[in-house]
Amino acid sequence: DAGVIQSPRHEVTEMGQEVTLRCKPISGHDYLFWYRQTMMRGLELLIYFNNNVPIDDSGMPEDRFSAKMPNASFSTLKIQPSEPRDSAVYFCASSLRGLAEAFFGQGTRLTVV
């Protein structure tokens, strides 16, 4: 298996633009997590899904952020409109057993200028 695949690896966008991050979890995994990593706040859980259903989105910073999982092999994290403070590395992770041994993707480095 190729592991968790995220795209793009790097994204530079102007403030106010819409940004869509993509994730393909490991086949067969039933949990999918979106994390954000910054120097100031470290790793933060934004939202997670179980069997394509959002379970906990309390980490989503505000209404500008939305996440979807239309099927078991694909998820998106959208920011609209983007702001400079959204600049961070966004990780997607998937797991077969919820918490234990979540496998992380390579991350998307987002820069909003």
Partner 1 sequence: GESVGLHLPTLSVQEGDNSIINCAYSNSASDYFIWYKQESGKGPQFIIDIRSNMDKRQGQRVTVLLNKTVKHLSLQIAATQPGDSAVYFCAETDRGSTLGRLYFGRGTQLTVWP
Q: Which residues bind partner 1 (CB under 8 A)?
A: 4, 31, 33, 42-45, 48, 50, 55-56, 59, 91, 93, 98-107
Q: Given the complex with partner 1, which of 93 and 112 has the nearer CB atom? A: 93
Q: Given the complex with partner 1, which of 7 and 81 has the nearer CB atom? A: 7
Find, among 59, 67, 75, the residue nearest to 26 by Cα.
Answer: 75
Give the number of other Cβ atoms within 10 Å of residue 17's Cβ. Answer: 13
For the CB of residue 101, give the shortest distance to partner 1 in the complex, in Å: 5
Q: Given the complex with partner 1, which of 82 and 94 has the nearer CB atom? A: 94
Query: Distance between CA 50 and CA 57 in Å, rounded?
Result: 12
Q: Given the complex with partner 1, which of 19 and 102 has the nearer CB atom? A: 102
Please say whether the beta carbons of 56 and 74 come within 8 A. no
Query: Distance between CA 35 and CA 14 in Å, rounded?
Result: 22
For the CB of residue 7, give the shortest distance to partner 1 in the complex, in Å: 14
For the CB of residue 15, give the shortest distance to partner 1 in the complex, in Å: 26
Query: Distance between CA 76 and CA 32 in Å, rounded?
Result: 11
For the CB of residue 57, give the shortest distance to partner 1 in the complex, in Å: 11
